[in-house]
Amino acid sequence: MHAHERRATGGESAARRGPERPRTPASALSTHRTDALRTLQRTAGNAAVARALAPAPEHARDPQQLQRYAEGEAAHGFDKVSAHGGIAIRGRYEAYADADMITAAAHSLDAQDQVPITLERGAAVQVGERTLYRVLPVYKDAGRAAAAVRAAGRNPQGAGHEPVAGDSAAQRDDKRAAYLRSLTDPPEVRQLVALTQRIVAALQGRAEPRSSTVDGLRSEAMKLAVATMGGGWVAARFPYPERTGREGLTDLAVIMPSLTADFLAGLPAVENQEAQVHELLITLPNDCKAAAAQLIGTPPNGGLSVRRDAPAVGENHFVDLTGAAPDGWANHFAAVILRDGSDSLTYESAADRTSALQQGKSLGYFELYGRAGTDQSFDQVIGAKNQAYAERAAQPT
């Protein structure tokens, strides 16, 4: 994989420059076929080829060195390009791949019944002399989309905002527009208000509330708080040990206005964040394991929590990060949706306890990982991201 260094954005760490590799001597290049030279131009850039073909200085004792990472025009505006040139990613939300690779990966996903998604081809781009196509993860059918929404505890109307195989470009645009409109009047607000009214009514009743009533209302409140503000908000604000009777209802009556206010306060940032995604992507949770399960189900050979050096399409990367960084992640999961030789393209999310968004289209992102055991491997890249996340989390707010 060729990673092109650029400033990290959106909380992602920049690609690191790896060790240099020997530059091919000019004498060897002069005997290569024309197609070999074109391949080198695509991967290293014309400027690098010119430097390689130039006569070596007389005083040089060793062959000149080609940088491991291509630079300049070789990047073609992308952040990373796979070693064989079949996959390219740009930013968080754009991945492109060879047409045959997308077709093969889609066939593989279609053959795995536990996997609810497949891939479609989007717009074409030119990467050097090669044409790649936008990689579009979509649900196999509307039923799979609805099931994913239910499993995530989201409003059922959200299924109408998910990409489904066979959608036309106009349908995708309409769904994205409807999704953005839904952010201005989220159904969660009505749910919060209705639940608050029920809690107040139970508190004002003459009879002593039953334990089952208090427990049920508390359970609803906690689920809604997790869905809107996340587990961190719940852990910090819900009293423990839990009180019963009127005292328990009083605790809930105090919490609900605060929950509603915090949710409303975060809506402008949520709307702006989601508007940055210009394609209809799958809505993912602020949780890497839940995201992987939503995308690929449970792989039959051991499940999600299995280390795989080269996971196949429909499987996942996994790493245990316990103790790796204070305030960091405990682990990380990433669903593999394409492969190009030893490089894997994933669609994944990464938990962020500071996020105001717990379910969203901006939470998912594409990543490209290199061969296991290299500095571009899943373990190394995620290890660096975990350290960066832990450092941000430790900073005072």
Assess whether pLDDT exceeds 80 at residue 357.
Answer: yes
What whole-number distance in Å separates Cα of residue 63 and Cα of residue 225? 62
At 294-339, the pLDDT tens digits run: 999 999 989 999 999 999 999 999 999 999 998 899 999 999 999 9
Q: How confident is the model at residue 63 (pLDDT cuts 50, 70, 90)?
A: very low
What whole-number distance in Å separates Cα of residue 347 and Cα of residue 339? 12
The reported pLDDT for the residue numbered 129 is 82
Q: How confident is the model at residue 227 (pLDDT cuts 50, 70, 90)?
A: confident
The reported pLDDT for the residue numbered 76 is 67
Assess whether pLDDT exceeds 50 at residue 292.
Answer: yes
The reported pLDDT for the residue numbered 2 is 53
**166 in Cβ contact with 134 (< 8 Å):** no
The reported pLDDT for the residue numbered 126 is 87
**202 in Cβ contact with 209 (< 8 Å):** yes
101 CB contacts (<8 Å, ≥6 apart)?
86, 87, 338, 339, 340
From the list 214, 242, 149, 144, the residue with the least C-alpha distance to 187 is 149
The reported pLDDT for the residue numbered 19 is 39
Q: What angle do CA 254, 255, 256 make, to 5 degrees?
A: 100
At 255-268, the pLDDT tens digits run: 999 999 999 999 99
Q: What is the mean pLDDT of the chain?
A: 84
The reported pLDDT for the residue numbered 181 is 93
Q: Which residue has the higher pLDDT, 62 or 219?
A: 219
Assess whether pLDDT exceeds 60 at residue 271.
Answer: yes
3-state secondary structure of 67: coil
From the list 92, 82, 100, the residue with the least C-alpha distance to 362 is 92
Percent of the chain having pLDDT more than 70? 80
Q: Which amino acid is at 239?
A: P
N residues, the chain: 397
At 112-156, the pLDDT tens digits run: 999 999 999 999 998 878 899 999 999 999 999 999 999 998 888
The reported pLDDT for the residue numbered 75 is 54
Q: How confident is the model at residue 1 (pLDDT cuts 50, 70, 90)?
A: low
Measured over the CA atoms of residue 92, residue 97, residue 99 and residue 103, the dihedral's sign is negative
